[in-house]
Amino acid sequence: MQKRILGKSGLEVSALGLGCMGMSFGYGPATDQQDAINLLRAAYEKGVTFFDSAEAYGPFANEELLGEALAPFRNEVVIATKFGFKNGKPPEGLDSRPETIRAVTEAALKRLRTDRIDLLYQHRVDPNVPIEEVAGTVKELIEVGKVKHFGLSEAGVQTIRNAHAVQPVTALQSEYSLWWREPEGEILPTLEELGIGFVPFSPLGKGFLTGKIDETITFDKTDFRNTVPRFSEENRKANQAMVDLLSRIANERKATNAQIALAWLMAQKPWIVPIPGTTKLHRLEENLGAAKIELTGNDLKEINEVLSKIEVQGARYSEQSQKMVNR
């Protein structure tokens, strides 16, 4: 697996990371503990060194899972986790007060069975706590060695600049994919200017770009996609046009939809590191195959031209969740 460096931070990670949320939370029932451990260890054996978690995934269960699974090779991997929700529960609202950040960090260190967090993100920007205060608190944690790098998630340009002025931001984690390209407007140029890496989550459109989801699928009652307008039956049907085109491009290159979608992301900038998630070994292997695909300038031009003719239908978040992004 090739390596990439997140911006100017010097933090080196595998070109593709692993988003671990779905093993514990969000996409239906949690994965069997031993099956998840096996998958995490298989990812490491196949070259993945970048694992993404959060206290909110479970809550807490995902960090405990990573702590157990990655313990045998802790010093060879980069673990990212996040703070920012009251009691680790998104429905309870935001909480990035300094005392909360410190308490969450101590608890996460125990769950992750480690003496430092390689990359600590603010999960969502808290409008009640100045970002300078958040950055200053993480700076203190970095100074005492409990945290190595500071990250933000779904933050707007001014927030990124204000935070970066207090404590250099190593990475921004936000949604970015062929069907959500909003970061290209202001976010990517700002990150390039400041030397900040970009970690796209949902790089496969929460599974939709794989071509395995159509209007006939019924999601588990605990699957958060039930609340996402873009995943309504009507919008899934309308958005199938994008998948059909992606399938054609993938077939021409003897690859899968997922591989083309990930290769496209990695081709945008050398400091972009997508973190596709999965609970299945064959999907992990498929996703990692994207790192071997090099799209040419002509490939990228064709993909952009073809997909620019399609307007994706439906918002990417519920109205409530949308209020927490791009602050």
| Beta carbons within 10 angstroms of residue 129's beta carbon | 19
Which of 27, 44, 57, 121 is the catalytic position?
57
Distances in whole angstroms, Cα of residue 61 to Cα of each of 36, 39, 122, 214: 12, 16, 19, 30
The residues near 302 (Cβ < 8 Å, ≥ 6 apart) are: 249
Distances in whole angstroms, Cα of residue 24 to Cα of each of 32, 138, 224, 251, 317: 9, 26, 13, 33, 20
Given a contact cutoff of 8 angstroms between Cβ atoms, the answer to whether 111 and 63 are in contact is: yes
Calculate the dihedral angle through the C-alpha atoms of 71, 75, 78, 80, rounding to the nearest 10 degrees: 50
The length of the chain is 327
Active site includes 317? no
Closest CA to 151 of 73, 63, 78: 78
Rounded Cα distance between 102 and 97, Å, is: 9
Whose tokens are 């070109």? That residue is 15
Radius of gyration (C-alpha) of the chain in whole angstroms:
19
Active site residues: 57
